[in-house]
Homo-oligomer: A and B are copies of this chain.
């Protein structure tokens, strides 16, 4: 495996991060732009030396911090002065107490929607990219890159613009115009690849191994261990916003599965640090039926995830071969959760249900989590008497096509009262 290394010493100023550690064999490596274990090819993740001491003091330090993910800088692989650097300052998004939705679903123990559409480019990707930017700076990279089919391209373009880095983002050449505009407007280079998303990914791997790719940080490839840690902040924020309390149940979407595993990691860190009480929580994974390899494996009692060819309107979750699928299965089983899926019709219904009850217009991924929540309650799997948090990771404005065919005016009338009366809406 040809991995290009710009810097691998541990003098890097990445806060409490001290090493990379193999998730499979535990082998440790110095911090650097590598993502796979040299011994067993397992995925690498960040190992920390987290702050000890009085939890109450740490809580106060966090609460006095900025209204962004940087309030948790002591728990992230970023320099201590990260908030002073030019970045998009994502996070600390609303935790909506969803009482109207709770009534519709029969939840009595408290239902919350963590609404990440409030991030700067309106998806949770701003969290992960913000951490990747700091890693890129630490490793001396000058170009920020990724392969993407949507949310990530915009998040990388925006973050690089603000950070003063060049960006060069790769997408399939036939994306919808709206997504292309969002990816290109930040002024970085946007390259359309004549091929599928798989072709784009293969090309990026080739580029990393080539001299052209020197000085390039691919957020979801050679910066992946850092990037992935950004999802921990969802766990931190949810608990802090609940008054430093663990929720009983969380419903999290599954694309690669990385987000779900990092939310679990974040919750375990909060417990270890004494920031929340140590008590059980259940994590439920949510997929679209048109791309549900992890749900399939969960239901079949398998440990391995069989790849599928995605066919769903939930395009931000359409990863047929999810890298972290096996870890997701572990977590769902260990915590007493489950992995479930809903079909495209149920996704659209759930988007509308959330909009109608709470005024939150979610991306299709949010329809997946709300739909799965409803399905799991009806099946008696999710306990409605417990505190439950459902994630919405993106914005409905980005997936208008999903609801457009069934969302329109109640009536078209002439501009007079008689015409309005005839429409039956008075």
Interface residues of A (CB under 8 A from B): 67, 86, 88-89, 92, 94, 97, 99-100, 115, 118, 120-122, 154, 157-162, 164, 168, 171, 173, 177-178, 180-182, 184-187, 189-195, 199-200, 202-203, 206-207, 210, 212, 351-352, 355-361, 395-398, 400, 403-404, 407-417, 420-421, 423, 425-426
Give bound CA distance, A241 to B393, whole Å: 27
Choose among B161, B359, B400, B421 the residue that contacts A359 (Cβ–Cβ < 8 A).
Answer: B161
Contacts of A161 in B (CB 8 A): 100, 355-359
A181 touches B400 (CB 8 A): yes
Q: Say whether A67 contacts B92, CB under 8 Å.
A: yes
Given contacts A181-B407, A199-B415, contact A420 B359 (CB under 8 A): no
Decide yes or no: A426 and B120 within 8 Å by CB, A415-B199, A417-B207 being known contacts. Answer: no
B185 pairs with A355, CB closer than 8 A: yes
A173 to B408, CA, bound (A): 10
Tell whether A412 pairs with B194 under 8 Å between CB atoms, given A120-B94, A395-B397, A400-B178: yes
Q: State the CA gap A88–B97 with chains docked (Å).
A: 10
Taking a contact as CB atoms under 8 Å apart, the answer to whether B355 and A177 are in contact is no
In the assembled complex, the Cα of A171 lies from the Cα of B171 at a distance in Å of 37
Judging by beta carbons under 8 Å apart, are A158 and B191 in contact? no
Q: What are some 26 contacts across the A-B interface (CB < 8 A)?
A: A86-B97, A100-B164, A118-B118, A121-B359, A154-B361, A158-B359, A159-B359, A161-B355, A177-B404, A181-B407, A181-B408, A182-B361, A182-B396, A185-B407, A187-B352, A189-B425, A191-B412, A191-B413, A191-B420, A191-B425, A193-B413, A194-B413, A195-B414, A200-B415, A207-B420, A212-B417
> A203 — which chain B residues lie within 8 A by C-beta?
415-416, 420
A192 and B355 form a contact (CB under 8 A):
no
A81 to chain B, nearest CB (A): 15
Residues of B within 8 A of A356 (CB): 161, 186-187
Residues of B within 8 A of A121 (CB): 359, 361
Q: Is the CB of A100 within 8 A of B86?
A: yes
Bound CA–CA A199/B192 (angstroms): 45
* Closest-CB distance, A314 to chain B (whole angstroms): 17
Contact A415 B187 (CB under 8 A): no
Considering only CB atoms, which chain B residue lies closest to A175 in the complex? B409
Residues of B within 8 A of A407 (CB): 180-181, 184-185
Q: What is the bound-complex CA distance between A86 and B121, given in angstroms? A: 26
